[in-house]
Amino acid sequence: MTTKPPGIVILISGRGSNLEAIIEATRRGELPVDIRAVISNRPDAAGIAIARRAGIETVVIDHACQADRASFDAALQTTIDTYNPGLVVLAGFMRLLTPGFVEQYRGRLINIHPSLLPDFPGLNTHQRVIDAGREVTGATVHFVTAETDGGPAYLQARVAVRKDDTAGTLAARVLRQEHRLYREAIRQVAEGRIALDNEDRVILDGVPLETVPLLGTAVVTGT
C-alpha cells in the first residue's frame, strides 16, 4: 500500500529563495510532501512566479486590502483550510500572526529564522550578530507560537562569522544553510519523527528534546 505524501501550504512575502529550494527538493524526490498551494500577502512577491512555473497553485491575500490584522488572518486561515494541509510552512513570510491564528495551527506551523535562536530574534539579524562580535551564527527551525521567533526550536545549522563579513555576505552564507536546514526539518515532520506535545515540548522519535539538534556537527565556513 502506497502512503500519500502529507500536504503542505507555504506562506511567502518576497523572493521565494527557501520556497524554490523546497520545490526543487520535492522534485528530486528528497522531500516526501505534496505542496498544495503557495500563499503570499504581497502581490509583487517574486516567489509567486517561482511557484507558478512549478505548476503549484498560488493565492494572493494582500494584507494592505484588509481592514486590520485580525481580518487578514481570518482570510488567510479560510484559504489555508481549503487545502487541508498537515503542515503550514512560513518561508520568508513577513507578517506577525495573531495568537488565535497561531493556536489554530498549533504543532502544524513552522518557521525558519536566520540566527541561533533564542539569540537575535526579530529583524536586522545579521548586522546585530556582527555588531555583537559573535564568531558563530546560523539558522533555526521552530514551531510558531504567539511569541515572535520564540516557539520551540527543533533543528539548527551553524555558520562561522568572518572578520570581514558584512550583513550581506553573512546573510548569503546563512541562506545557503537555510535551504539545507529547512528541507531536513520539513522532512522530519512529514515522516512523523517530530511533533509538539501538549506542554509545548518538541518530541523527536518519541523522546522529548533536551537540546536543539544540529544539522551536521561542523560550523560551516565555506562560501
Tell me how far apart the alpha carbons of residues 165 and 134 are, in angstroms, rounded to a whole number: 11
Is 113 noted as a catalytic residue in this protein? Answer: yes
CB burial of 76-113 (b: ≥16 within 10 Å; e: otherwise) equals bbeebeebebbbbbbbbbebebbeebbebbebbbbbbb
CB burial of 151-160 (b: ≥16 within 10 Å; e: otherwise) equals bbbbbbbbbb
φ/ψ of 220, rounded to 5, equals -70, 130
Evaluate whether 193 touches 6 at the Cβ level (below 8 Å): no
Q: In which residue are the cell numbers 494592505 written? A: 64
Selecting among 63, 113, 142, 179, the annotated active-site residue is: 113
Question: How many CB atoms lie under 10 A from the CB of residue 132?
Answer: 11
**Any idea which residues carry the catalytic annotation?**
113
